[in-house]
Structure 1
């Protein structure tokens, strides 16, 4: 929680928030989350778990949760995504949390599944945040989801000496990322094998003709 508080974020997306083996208890105590001023969003996860397929989302009390759900993703290994529609200081936005597969073929399938799920929902400016597990350029991910613009935030893995930018953001029209970065100071380098990333968002409105 020290690292999470250092981000000073209104919305926090986590991966591997639960232990791997059933019944998948939370790796971060629920009472500590509440004590530090956050709400954990319910995505229909098993009792005791913090997230859905290990993905979790924490929000400040000032953020209103409009709707939330988990999404099963295709692939060789069990994967899922989380989706929350939120009322924030910049307006209503949709946040997707992902932890994509280790094999590119499945990563592309998983992003495609996310894109199709979003098309069935009312339009809302959307941010995807998480571990894309993409060691190289995000061009291949861009190709499968042209409605999202991917943002490279710098190297995040492995945390002690990062050489790869596995973690990142992508956004739709209606949102802009005007500032972003990687949190590198202690204890971020020892709290996880990935360094945390952050972004500051703005809502944009279509220009009138």
Structure 2
């Protein structure tokens, strides 16, 4: 557990626990389990998490027999998962792993068109004696879609999150520029900006697609683990952000 007033939050797109293509693909979910533990975060926000996938379960002899969110949760953590996309062979979505007690959670569909199934996961956590609201997102690939999805996010926050409650919005924003960051700043959601934190592509990071924005919490630090052990596990690197609560 970290100092009494620091909240450590990680976000990580895990690429469904598999890297590579076709018959050369390899299972990384077991390594990701060790990696999530190493992040030592109070709250871990995950994207591209499989609930199940019948074809991959047949292909990989060591495919876990439980949903990936439960498999990845370190001992003592609570796992919350909600499906964004239902595909021919299974389901995947967003997840949150919490070292602190979870008071409740809900899911909202923010799909912008029929080719991309997207959703947001809202989890209410009791941390450091405070009620903290966390929203995990994975925005669309098309710029116009992302703008409309931020509009849906704004309406969701107005409806579901008390104005004075600490709020975190974390995930894969798929934004290569600053447009989404500016829109979120307009909602009072800010991130630590004193250093750059490129997370994608993992092997040679050129852009920060992954972010942790906060309202009612003070950003105090940002860290991206690097090295071969990390870029082998996913096409994204994890991002770790710290906040004073």
Same fold (TM over 0.5): yes
State the TM-score, normalized to the length of structure 2: 0.69
- Structure 1: tracts of 5 or more residues without a match: 47-51, 204-209
Alignment of 1:91-130 (within 5 A): 91-123=130-162, 124-130=165-171
**Higher relative CO (CA 8 A, sep ≥ 6), structure 1 or 2?**
2
Name 1:49's counterpart in structure 2. Answer: none
* 2:154 alignment partner, SS class: helix
Deviation at 1:136, TM superposition (A): 1.5
Q: 1:42 to 1:101 in 2, by over 3 A?
A: closer
Name 1:7's counterpart in structure 2. Answer: 39
In the TM superposition, structure 1's runs of 4+ consecutive aligned residues that sit over 4 Å from their partners are 19-27, 42-46
Distance in 2 (CA, whole Å) between partners of 1:122 and 1:4 is: 28
Q: 1:192 to 1:56 in 2, by over 3 A?
A: same
Deviation at 1:192, TM superposition (A): 0.8
Deviation at 1:18, TM superposition (A): 1.1
Structure with the bigger percentage of helix:
2
Name 2:210's counterpart in structure 1. Answer: 167
- Picking from 106, 113, 124, the partner of 1:69 is 106
* 2:232 alignment partner, SS class: helix
Deviation at 1:140, TM superposition (A): 4.3
- Structure 2: tracts of 5 or more residues without a match: 1-32, 58-65, 86-90
Please, which moves more after superposition, 124-133 or 174-183?
174-183
Distance in 2 (CA, whole Å) between partners of 1:187 and 1:23 is: 26
* 1:154 alignment partner, SS class: coil
Determine if contact 2:203/2:228 at 8 Å carries over to the other structure: no
Cα RMSD (Å) of the superposition? Answer: 2.8
Distance in 2 (CA, whole Å) between partners of 1:169 and 1:179 is: 11
Q: 1:181 to 1:175 in 2, by over 3 A?
A: same
Name 1:134's counterpart in structure 2. Answer: 175
Name 1:155's counterpart in structure 2. Answer: 198
- Across the two proteins, how many residue pairs are aligned to each other? 193
Name 1:179's counterpart in structure 2. Answer: 221
Q: 1:130 to 1:12 in 2, by over 3 A?
A: same
Deviation at 1:44, TM superposition (A): 7.4
Q: 1:53 to 1:96 in 2, by over 3 A?
A: farther
Determine if contact 1:111/1:141 at 8 Å carries over to the other structure: no
Q: 1:36 to 1:135 in 2, by over 3 A?
A: same
